[in-house]
Structure 1
Amino acid sequence: MLNNPYVVVDLETTGLDPSQDTILEMAALRFEEGRLVQQFSTLVNPRKPIPPHIQRLTGIKEDMVSEAPFLEEVLPNFLSLLQGATVIAHNAPFDMAFLAKASGSLWEGPILDTLELSRILFPWFPSHKLHVLARHFNIDLAEQHRALSDAKATAQLLEILWKETLKLNPTLLKRFKELVPSRLTLWFATALSAHPPSSFAEVAASGEIKFPEREEKVPEEEGAFSPEAIVELLKPGGVLAQALPGYEYRPQQEQVLRVISQALEESKHALVEAGTGTGKSLAYLLPAIFWACKKGCRVAIATHTISLQEQLWYKDIPLLQRSLPFPFRAALLKGRSNYICRRRLLEWEESLPSHDTPERIFTLRIWRWLAFTLTGDWSEFKTLPEEEGWKSLLSSDNETCLGSHCPFHTAGCFVTAARRRAEEADIFIINHSLLLSDLRWGNQVLPPFSYLIVDEAHHLEDTATEHLAISLSQSTLHYFFHRLQAKPRLLGYLPNLSSLAEKLPPPNQAFFLSQVEKSLLALAKAEEATDSFFAALKSLWEASEKNNRQDFALRLAGKVKELPAWELVLETAGVLEETWERLRDELEKLVPLLEDMGATLQAREAERMAAALKFYLNSLQQILDSDEDKEVAWMERGPNGWFTLYSAPLEVGPWLMDMLFQTKECIVFTSATLQVNKSFSFFCRRTGLELLPGERVITCSVEAPFDYSTQAKLLIATDLPNPSHLSDEEYAKATAKAILDISRAAGGRTLVLCNSHRFLRAIYESLSSLSPTEVLLGQGIDGHRFQLIEEFCRYPQAILLGTGTFWEGIDLPGDLLRCLIIPRLPFPSPNVPVLAARLESLAEQGQDPFMNLSLPLAIIRFRQGFGRLIRRSTDRGAVVILDCRLTSKRYGSYFLASLPEVNFTSNPVKDILSQLKFWFSF
């Protein structure tokens, strides 16, 4: 393949849009018989200013191109290099679009995209950007985002991709050749004809996921659990000090470990607040592992965020497996939808269109990944945005799972394998979502366990609310009906049953086809009734919108139920229920007919879909009939205009008490933010722990091992407007200049924590207009979380705007984060239906909704945000609060009292700027 002439090209441009932007630099390397025979490289005068962010990205300044040739002067020589060769580029569509605009015609010759090939061959890589691949494969990339340097790196990458392709198993290569779009046929066909080695399964690919393997161990004596022995592991000179470079003994960590050990030994529940830097993960892992191994039981560990789950699995547990004096078994278990279903993959492949489509590339990537994955966990697979919808069609789910009737059940089912590993483990890691889902559905997934550690426990109430909620979405029903009926690019279950009738004698054949036809007619009526129901919901939304503006949700309560449109909703719901019942009956009638024909898989699928329809029907009835004294019902409208109905309990405490707290011997709840006003009472009240006898709960609060008086400065602005009096857009304009000036005074590396995406976008626009030269990064605007953090770390003068997950779980130690700005106090939006209903409920009970719910929630969020600044004992930085209410309102003292001992001052912004410059001057 690489013996044929090819040219590696790379272009740097003034932007991303060929219709508006132009070429800034171009390079080409021509290879013949695998040898470099010609090199071309030049800067290009773009005849327009180079945007500041392009100058930062490429390092190409205005003065460098002022004397450079114009594009029309160099383009002919550049194009002459491409003649008679395959053009190769990293993200080829981008480069070829600019070349087409420059030359006035599309390139007619063959094109290969190393970005596309790397995504196929290494689908588990977290990024396929050229500089990331260069770093991974030790490719020399002298100057990132310079045309010649990038072209040379692409040429080296091409060699690596070719060698990797030659390693592929011939069977997999043959499948690739059949699936690939025509532009890649020659690449894989040539590799197949080259007789690749047959030992593909033995090839160790870079990036392969390695999971802890089960080791045989000698059972420990009953009652041998010793907290003192565990504490010795933490002491200076202990096994952890030997295993961890730079290890520091922390008495706070020992204190947490002892409390957790006490809870395990005394079969009590424990509330443990451990500040940032205490090392609480190891402080609960160690006693959990010792307890499980010494007592011969299982301990479950539940986290809320993926980042913490991955830290435990990929970092902490392997460390302990290497360090502890005895082996232990660990497992990671996630919800069903996190795993790929092999059966659905085969069905998907059978339905692929024959022509070149992105779905075929996606399928290639899946098969490549399956050759390596031990778990089938989607988190190992780098999904592109356009692939997310397809991924959901290949994920395991309850509706379509055939259980023991699936051909992959005993061998090849990743869900079954994950459960089996959890059953064999001493400790297993799950998330809050799986824990609560399993409790709700009668412990169908998790193996039995009596000991549980809940990290990030401040999320417990919200997660319980989410999983006790009932929902029914228009999109779910759309895909359900989609699956039953033939549609483009997806198998239709009912029409495909007709092919089974060919094997039946004429009388039986006619009867079977008649039943299939009845099911199809019932399906058509059910779809029609469903469309009418959601049309009625749309009318209700619009009728309510005329009276009360809603941003994203509409509560189905009070005056909404007095509107005439509500009567139409109930009327269409009645028709919908009748048609769904009819369709369910027809599907159930198919089951015995299919079983008699020996079509067991199809029979089980009919059962599953009938059961799913019953579930949807029950969900709809519960939502529409919800009791306003105990539940809150609402509807939301998505970006595509489709609706989702919800119902959630007003209180989750009694349910958690019955289903969780009373069923476990010991539960440890831990977080950096469990207390409000130095008390655990808010957490206990909201989660139902207060319903337990006091003697069953022990508490512990451990401060972070940092000296905030010397490491941090808290500055509060007093001369900015009250944000509660302004809209998001107005407050963004009022604070944008202060944010910019504060970041500059702090020397950059500034994180701005916003309350909402709407405010984030408003402040982003205001900052952009004030300073086009600033490195501004916005969540949901410039990339996803990990991309933004990577970019933020790259540019010292960056300002990062984040919301949601940026308030917790991000770690930017040292000089990576110098200044943290909180523009306004993080009070939850009262427009959120569940919160609004809970506030109303508290008011009806004679309690102050603000003091008993809104304020405590804001304080917990505030503490999480403050905790982003100091992550190590050597960190130093400043937190600036722009919300004047922190000092002008009485409740501001509660926020300040919730923080560790930190020096703070309140001044006008101009004085804050002087203080910041002085603070960072030494």
Structure 2
Amino acid sequence: MYNKFVVIDLETTGNIPKKGDRIIQFAAVVIENGVITEQFSSLINPQKSIPIFIEELTGINDEMVKNAPVFSEIAEKVITLLDGAYFVAHNVLFDLSFLQEELVSAGYEGFFGPVLDTVEMARIMYPTADGYKLSDLAEQENLNHDRPHQADSDAEVTAELLLIFLRRLAALPLVTIRQLLPLSGGLKSDLQQLLDEILEEFDPMDEGIPEHTELVKDLVVKKTAKTIDMEQEQTNLSYPEHENDKINLLNKGFKSFEKRSGQFQMMDAVYRALHYERHSLIEAGTGVGKSLGYLLPAAYFCKENKSGPIVISTYTIQLQEQLLKKEIPLLASILPFKIHAVLLKGRSHYISLEKFHQSLSDENDNYDTTLTKMQILVWLTETETGDKDELNLSSGGHIFWEKIKSSPFGFSFNQEYSDRDFYLKAKKEAEYADIIITNHSLVLSDIKEKAAILPNYDYVILDEGHHFEKTATQFFGASLDYLAIRLLIGRFGLEDQPQLFHDMEDIIQMISEGQEPLLHPFQLNQLVMDLTYEVDEFFNLIALFAKKKLGAAPRFYRSKVRFSQSDGEREVRALVISAERLAFLLKDLQIAIKERLKWIMKSKTPLTTSQQTTLEEIQTFLNDVKELRDTVMNCFIREKNDVKWIEIDMRSPQNITTFVAQPAVVADQLQEQFFLVKKAAVITSASLTVNDSFHFILNELGLDPVLTETMMVSSPFNYQKQVKLLIPEELPEINTVTLDEFVIALTEQIISIAEAAKGRMLVLFTAYDMLKKTYDLVKESGFLNDFVLMAQGISSGSPARLTRNFKRYDKAILFGTSSFWEGVDIPGEDLSCLCIVRLPFSAPDEPLTEAKSKLILERGGNPFTEYSLPEAVLRFKQGFGRLIRTETDRGIVVVFDKRIITNQYGKSFLASIPPVSINKGRIDELARIIRSWV
């Protein structure tokens, strides 16, 4: 067995050794028998100039390497170090390619031993990690990494990580290691050899199942607690009416409880709404303690009245996780009785153990699929939920998930898998839960499925409630996305491709009894090809229509184009005819596959588990085809009064094109199908009022203003002392200059503010194109080279992941659009400056805004004051709320849009946020204020 590992890290003049890039620093850490035995590092003279950006990244300059050895002088030492060892590096192919080039140039053969990539190992051993950069992993393991991008420091940290990985690998169940072994042959590195060596040290008959895990068929999964006792415990309690009683309760959960009268007001309002069965709107300012403000009275009411579960619905996954991991445990420590809370998501979020187990025998996996399978094998030994959102999957991993996700169709029934089905377990627990945490989409799906998803419930609390109307608009609408449809058809494939079609024909061949299915395979193959052609033709016509409407030079790459079948244009007629053909072809495909499935099911030939799984996947595919056909029919053929538009990226119209249809107003549907059905709904958020009025949100949701209780609970923070609002006066109005001219002026001001604020700055945009242009120009300017710049849609990672990375750096600037206007929590000194580029009005020609405005005009109203302004004010309130998250926070808000003080309607924005100190002036004057404040 190889007991020696040499961890290598290099700093280089560039990325391509074949084009003359050279090593400027070499570092190696030797590990033998689990112990670091030697370390070696040296600067290297590359015999060429070090580029400026490399110097800035590494801190290594020409002067430092002037008297350093050339690589050939240390080549023999490198060869000696690597003798009989694994070559280990973080992204091993990069370091290995450079080293091989240098060794050959120095007259040596190079290295031909086994290699290990710690990026690959990290992805497998930490399937739920936020990121796999060396700095991310070092922080996760509390390793000191004080000099990133210097080879000796990077090599030391990589070596320490390798030791952790080796210990974790050896501690895995042997069954899991044996399943990882054949998959590891498809990796970039020689993990297969390492796994073989680990297995050699164990008895081949030993299953090695750790105590915290159990074997389900052939998969090792983490043991989970049994579903809770179904008996409702008898409680004799009542909701604490007096303030002192609440304080005493809360003191149990807080070491030092600070009295929050606003939180008590909210608790009482929530309890009253549930008790008297009235709908209620509660705006709770930042710092009120909103989550506990509704959780405590909900728990009391649920136990006191045996009311069945209370559903808590959120818009974001982040808030769901916060409720389950932070707020519910806190609540449990406070209450004098037990409370059972569960998180329930849609079925597709949960893994099917049976499907995954079957997938392990598939051959010809690509790299992403292989790596994802290995991640999941390790994850199953850790997860209690089986929820995909825990995993850090690649884009290819997400595609593979579609193959192994839980589905309602089953041709096989294995009791062992059924007993450990994650989705069924979550649903079972929800039936006996006091509180069910879920999301707005699932609440609305439950309406559509006639209460088939959630257990029967009468009481609901909608947190982030300002999103409920928009979620409902999307839910009651439909969309057709080009890539999603092509992926769907690709899942079925053609007869000669290793997809569902091919697998189905193999089953038919095996059980053939002299009868032929109605359609010959050749004809079905032709049908799939015709369908693929029609999908391409359909989206080509969509792109042609959009291009005609946008003209030769659209202002933004990403655009929305309103679509109306009443236009009567040639392109519209052609598109509708294509949609009809598409619907017919989808129907033909459904019929052909259904006939084949019936034929297979009539056969008495026993099917293998793999074949049964294939049939289940085909049934899932059929269901998706039916949904697609219904969507095509609803968008183009059935008479519906939806607003229709095309979303397109003109840089890649063939790939990035979506057709959307949504109702302009959902108030009546929500009233009839939701609010009239539920006994009490509490809608809460920090942004429900405009100018201290709930009128806008009441109207959007379809709630009766007479029958609905409303309450505003102000933030306890002292915004006058904690916030300064600054308004630069030099920036031109965007409508008076070109986009490029505006971005140049904006960039100059952002640079000035960043230098004054010293980083920790969030810049909010209303349009992605402006964000990208500004980010690129700031980066190209070179003025902020010592700042870490991150941008949504450019830097990798979800908004939550970008936020976590942002907090790690003192001098960081984060550029964000829509999802960063809310739901992002950056307390304390991690965020000290918030910039709002434009007041967040929806564009007047944005399809839904246009449609809503038309309806308001038709009834004699004012679209701007009744819709555009209040919608923008609510978004502004959300954006403003990103800055002050605790009572000790201090910060600057910069609003680049002068309309907030020059236009009459600007008062509505200022009146809807807490009173703050306002300064306006030239950027140099404002920079002085910022420097004195931060």
Same fold (TM over 0.5): yes
Q: Which residue of 2 aligns with 1:665?
A: 679
Q: Distance in 1 between matches of 2:71 and 2:638?
A: 68
2:297 maps to 1:287? yes
2:380 maps to 1:370? yes
Q: Which residue of 2 aligns with 1:394?
A: 404
CA displacement, residues 523-561 of structure 1 (integer Å, 9 cap, x when unaligned): 444444444433433443444444794854554635883
SS at match of 2:198: helix
CA displacement, residues 642-682 of structure 1 (integer Å, 9 cap, x when unaligned): 34332111101111101111111111100001001110001
Q: Which residue of 2 aligns with 1:696?
A: 707
Q: Give the letter aligned to residue 615 of structure 1.
A: E
TM-score, scaled to structure 1 = 0.90
Q: Distance in 2 between matches of 1:389 and 1:190?
A: 32
Q: Distance in 2 between matches of 1:881 and 1:821?
A: 6
2:766 maps to 1:766? no
The verdict on how the C-alpha distance between 1:585 and 1:798 changes in structure 2, with shifts beyond 3 A counting, is closer
Post-superposition shift, 1:386?
4.3
Contact 1:114 1:158 (C-alpha < 8 Å) held by counterparts:
yes
Q: Distance in 2 between matches of 1:556 and 1:742?
A: 39
- Give the number of aligned pairs: 903
Post-superposition shift, 1:318?
1.7
Segment of structure 1 superposing worse, 362-371 or 554-563: 554-563
Q: Give the letter aligned to residue 539 of structure 2.
A: F
CA displacement, residues 24-73 of structure 1 (integer Å, 9 cap, x when unaligned): 42211334566655432012356445656864x65657765555445555
Q: Give the letter aligned to residue 226 of structure 1.
A: Y
Contact 2:24 2:45 (C-alpha < 8 Å) held by counterparts:
yes
Contact 2:253 2:334 (C-alpha < 8 Å) held by counterparts:
yes
Give the 5 Å matches for 1:239-278: 239-278=249-288
Q: Distance in 1 between matches of 2:663 and 2:396?
A: 35
2:190 maps to 1:190? no
Q: Distance in 2 between matches of 1:803 and 1:104?
A: 49
SS at match of 2:418: coil
CA displacement, residues 330-379 of structure 1 (integer Å, 9 cap, x when unaligned): 1101122222233443454344317x734222211112212332211012
Q: Which residue of 2 aligns with 1:439?
A: 447
Q: Distance in 2 between matches of 1:282 and 1:210?
A: 27
SS at match of 2:516: helix
Q: Which residue of 2 aligns with 1:312?
A: 323
Q: Which residue of 1 aligns with 2:510?
A: 502
Q: Which residue of 2 aligns with 1:789?
A: 803
Q: Distance in 1 between matches of 2:289 and 2:249?
A: 16
Q: Distance in 2 between matches of 1:537 and 1:358?
A: 32
Post-superposition shift, 1:381?
1.3
2:798 maps to 1:777? no
The sequence identity of aligned pairs, in percent, is 32
Q: Distance in 2 between matches of 1:831 and 1:12?
A: 51
SS at match of 2:810: coil
Q: Distance in 2 between matches of 1:204 and 1:134?
A: 28
Give the 5 Å matches for 1:399-798: 401-402=409-410, 410-486=418-494, 490-493=498-501, 495-504=503-512, 508-512=513-517, 519-546=524-551, 549=554, 551-553=557-559, 555=561, 557-558=563-564, 561-598=567-604, 601=612, 609-625=621-637, 630-637=641-648, 639=652, 641-642=654-655, 643-689=657-703, 692=704, 694-770=705-781, 771-775=783-787, 776-784=789-797, 785-798=799-812
Contact 2:791 2:814 (C-alpha < 8 Å) held by counterparts:
yes
SS at match of 1:376: coil
Q: Distance in 1 between matches of 2:286 and 2:736?
A: 34
Contact 1:588 1:606 (C-alpha < 8 Å) held by counterparts:
no
Contact 2:759 2:813 (C-alpha < 8 Å) held by counterparts:
yes
Contact 2:345 2:438 (C-alpha < 8 Å) held by counterparts:
yes
Q: Which residue of 2 aligns with 1:127?
A: 131
Post-superposition shift, 1:184?
2.0
Contact 2:876 2:909 (C-alpha < 8 Å) held by counterparts:
yes
The verdict on how the C-alpha distance between 1:347 and 1:684 changes in structure 2, with shifts beyond 3 A counting, is same
Post-superposition shift, 1:177?
1.6
The verdict on how the C-alpha distance between 1:866 and 1:526 changes in structure 2, with shifts beyond 3 A counting, is closer
Contact 1:515 1:586 (C-alpha < 8 Å) held by counterparts:
no
CA displacement, residues 479-498 of structure 1 (integer Å, 9 cap, x when unaligned): 33333334787532365334
Q: Distance in 2 between matches of 1:797 and 1:553?
A: 34
Q: Give the letter aligned to residue 11 of structure 1.
A: L
The verdict on how the C-alpha distance between 1:795 and 1:179 changes in structure 2, with shifts beyond 3 A counting, is closer
SS at match of 2:419: coil
Extract unaligned runs of 5+ from structure 1. Answer: none
Q: Give the letter aligned to residue 710 of structure 1.
A: K
Contact 1:217 1:327 (C-alpha < 8 Å) held by counterparts:
no
CA displacement, residues 240-271 of structure 1 (integer Å, 9 cap, x when unaligned): 33433444221111111111111011101110
Q: Give the letter aligned to residue 43 of structure 2.
A: L
Q: Distance in 2 between matches of 1:365 and 1:291?
A: 42
CA displacement, residues 448-485 of structure 1 (integer Å, 9 cap, x when unaligned): 11110000111111111111111233334323333333
Contact 1:304 1:459 (C-alpha < 8 Å) held by counterparts:
yes
The verdict on how the C-alpha distance between 1:806 and 1:64 changes in structure 2, with shifts beyond 3 A counting, is farther
Which one of the candidate residues 171, 175, 189 is aligned to 2:175?
171
2:166 maps to 1:162? yes
Q: Which residue of 1 aligns with 2:6?
A: 7
Q: Distance in 1 between matches of 2:571 and 2:9?
A: 59
2:373 maps to 1:353? no
Contact 1:352 1:360 (C-alpha < 8 Å) held by counterparts:
no
Post-superposition shift, 1:23?
3.4
Post-superposition shift, 1:294?
1.9
Post-superposition shift, 1:101?
5.0
Q: Distance in 2 between matches of 1:809 and 1:577?
A: 40
Extract unaligned runs of 5+ from structure 2. Answer: 215-220
Segment of structure 1 superposing worse, 816-825 or 520-529: 520-529
Which one of the candidate residues 337, 340, 344 is aligned to 1:333?
344
2:919 maps to 1:908? no
The verdict on how the C-alpha distance between 1:827 and 1:740 changes in structure 2, with shifts beyond 3 A counting, is same
Q: Distance in 2 between matches of 1:137 and 1:644?
A: 42
Contact 1:201 1:371 (C-alpha < 8 Å) held by counterparts:
no
The verdict on how the C-alpha distance between 1:586 and 1:662 changes in structure 2, with shifts beyond 3 A counting, is same
Q: Distance in 2 between matches of 1:780 and 1:24?
A: 33
Q: Give the letter aligned to residue 596 of structure 2.
A: L
Segment of structure 1 superposing worse, 210-219 or 799-808: 210-219
Contact 2:524 2:592 (C-alpha < 8 Å) held by counterparts:
yes
Segment of structure 1 superposing worse, 739-748 or 652-661: 739-748
Segment of structure 1 superposing worse, 749-758 or 653-662: 749-758
The verdict on how the C-alpha distance between 1:486 and 1:344 changes in structure 2, with shifts beyond 3 A counting, is farther
SS at match of 1:383: coil
The verdict on how the C-alpha distance between 1:300 and 1:21 changes in structure 2, with shifts beyond 3 A counting, is farther
Which one of the candidate residues 241, 246, 251 is aligned to 1:228?
241
Q: Distance in 2 between matches of 1:176 and 1:42?
A: 37
Q: Which residue of 1 aligns with 2:217?
A: none
Q: Distance in 1 between matches of 2:235 and 2:165?
A: 54
The verdict on how the C-alpha distance between 1:855 and 1:579 changes in structure 2, with shifts beyond 3 A counting, is same
Q: Distance in 2 between matches of 1:54 and 1:215?
A: 63
Contact 1:123 1:368 (C-alpha < 8 Å) held by counterparts:
yes
Post-superposition shift, 1:424?
1.7
Segment of structure 1 superposing worse, 314-323 or 577-586: 577-586
Post-superposition shift, 1:572?
2.7
Q: Which residue of 1 aligns with 2:334?
A: 323
Q: Give the letter aligned to residue 327 of structure 1.
A: K
Q: Which residue of 1 aligns with 2:82?
A: 82
The verdict on how the C-alpha distance between 1:20 and 1:133 changes in structure 2, with shifts beyond 3 A counting, is same
Q: Which residue of 2 aligns with 1:115?
A: 119
Contact 1:822 1:882 (C-alpha < 8 Å) held by counterparts:
yes
Post-superposition shift, 1:225?
3.5
Which one of the candidate residues 204, 209, 230 is aligned to 1:200?
209
- RMSD of the TM alignment (CA)? 3.2
